[in-house]
Chains A and B, each alone.
Chain A
Amino acid sequence: MKFHIWLTLLVLPAAILFASNNGLARAEDDVDDEGVDVEGEDLEVETSVTGDEEPAEPTGPGASPDADTTILFTNPVGTSNLDLPGGKLVEFLVGFTNKGKQDFVLETLDASFRYPMEFTFYIQNFSTLAYSRLVKPGHEATLAYSFIPAEGFAGRPFSLSVNLNYRDASGGFFREAVYNETVQVIELEEGLDGEVFFMYVFLAACVVLLLVGGQQLLVSVGKKRGHISRKPQVETGTNDNPNDVNYDWLPKDALKNLNNQQRSPKQSPRQRKVKRSDD
């Protein structure tokens, strides 16, 4: 019996906590509800609607309570602790809902990289895109923005701050920090690029060079040791092989005379000459 009482006493508060956001009793500040009509430029500084990690902008107009913004990164996909590849396109969509009764004009969207510790220290400003988009009451609009983080920033964390500037029909000017969180710029590991390929070619050439050097060394060492025991080669000319004589360089007439002379060897050239002179 007692056990069941204890169980219920534990379950009941847990259930209440789980069910509602404000289950615990706490003192709430009076939120100054400005109502539908937003007039003039002296609005009080409010924390941004979406970002609740970093402190709010120190000065300047804040967000309008009639507007609701949301951000979605389409490339690369994610919401927090993003890893942005350096040198590649980063795209995101900003959704804007007009919950009030007046028209809103979305003017510009700008993004910047800031120092993570020091919010006001700008490292890089990206282009400010001007849309001038009219959003009627009750309607939603989507804005697309893209930028490329520099490759040289790889390995460093930054605070990416995306701000939307808009105004309402009565001239009130608002600036809302749509995204204000720390991101990491990473470097993509390329599979096989030019540098790596030529490095391998160079290493192969070095190996081949070493092999050639080794072979030359072996040959020179072998020569020095010498092969004196080998028989000295003596040149014998054509005595060994009479069939090995090359007659191609002789003109054809001389060859014919030679053959004739061989057929009749008894006749000497002097005798022949005497014979002719007789004619």
Chain B
Amino acid sequence: MGRWWLLALACMAVATVRAEEEEASARLLASKHILNRYLVEDMDLVVKYTLYNVGQTAALDVHLDDFSFPEEMFKVVGGQLHVKLDRVPPQANVSHTVVLRPTRFGYFNFTAAEVRYKTSEDASQIQVAVTSEPGEGAIVAFKDYDRKFSPHVLDWGAFAIMTLPSLGIPFILWFSSKSKYEALAKGKRRRDE
């Protein structure tokens, strides 16, 4: 009687262990996305990297490196371009943001960053993955952006000063005739009394 129970238990144990061994690896999908609407020279450019784990186990020892922003063209003002994450859990996603500042204007081809990770605990090789590319973007010169979007306080002030004559001259005419009539009316009233 006891033997049959043991056999049943052994089968269940084997079954559960077998189920875990199959197809258990991590798979990362990496996307690189520029969050800016306008890319302007000397103004912040925000890049967002998102890693999605579509596998069944955690991705271990994840390195995200972006070599596509040369030092002479971009300055890092926030975040890191080289990131290390210990693990990305299965069916989860991680995002990382970097803030850059372009030092030159013109067309720039935003290419992919690299991700290296281990697909499982006892994986022999590091898996290399490449993120998605945002594509080519135009970095506008600051002068052009400013011309379009700045508050133009000085320009409006000059405009206000230039419109003063067209408002001032009718006002002066009216004011002079009003004061003349007031004086006349005052004189007549005094004479009447």
Contacts and interface: CB of A to CB of B under 8 A. Distances in A.
A245 interface: no
A144 interface: yes
A83 interface: no
Contacts of A143: 132
B85 interface: no
Nearest to B51: A142
Interface string A72-116: 101000000000000000000101010000000000000000000
Contacts of A266: none
Given A1-B1, A7-B8, A139-B128, A144 B14 contact: no
Interface in B21-58: 22, 27-31, 33, 50, 52, 54
Contacts of A138: 125, 127-128
A141 interface: yes
Interface in B41-80: 50, 52, 54
Contact of A95 (B14, B29, B33, B50): B29
Given A70-B29, A74-B31, A93-B52, A142 B15 contact: no
Nearest to B23: A21
B8 A95 contact: no
29 contacts: A4-B1, A4-B4, A4-B5, A4-B8, A5-B4, A7-B8, A8-B5, A11-B11, A14-B15, A15-B14, A18-B15, A18-B19, A20-B18, A70-B29, A70-B54, A72-B29, A74-B50, A93-B52, A135-B130, A138-B125, A138-B128, A139-B129, A140-B28, A140-B128, A140-B130, A142-B31, A142-B130, A142-B131, A142-B132
Contacts of B18: 19-20
Interface string B96-136: 00000000000000001000000000000101111111000
Contact of A15 (B11, B33, B128, B131): B11
A140 B128 CA distance: 6
B12 interface: yes
B7 interface: yes
Given A72-B54, A252-B192, 8 more contacts: A4-B4, A8-B7, A15-B14, A133-B130, A133-B133, A140-B27, A142-B131, A142-B132
A97 B125 CA distance: 14
B49 to A, nearest CB: 11
A95 B12 contact: no
Interface residues of B, number: 31
B19 A12 contact: no
A131 B111 CA distance: 11
Given A7-B4, A70-B29, A19 B14 contact: yes
Contacts of A144: 31, 33, 132
Contacts, number: 86
Nearest to A134: B130
Nearest to B128: A139
A16 interface: yes
B29 A142 contact: yes
A138 B50 CA distance: 21
A139 B130 contact: yes
Contacts of B29: 70, 72, 93, 95, 142
Contacts of B128: 136, 138-140
A79 to B, nearest CB: 10
Contact of A19 (B4, B19, B28, B132): B19
Given A4-B5, A15-B14, A93-B31, A141 B54 contact: no
Contacts of A11: 8, 11-12
Contacts of A135: 130
A69 to B, nearest CB: 11
Contacts of A139: 127-130
A8 B6 CA distance: 9
Interface in A132-173: 133, 135-136, 138-144
A132 to B, nearest CB: 10
B121 to A, nearest CB: 19
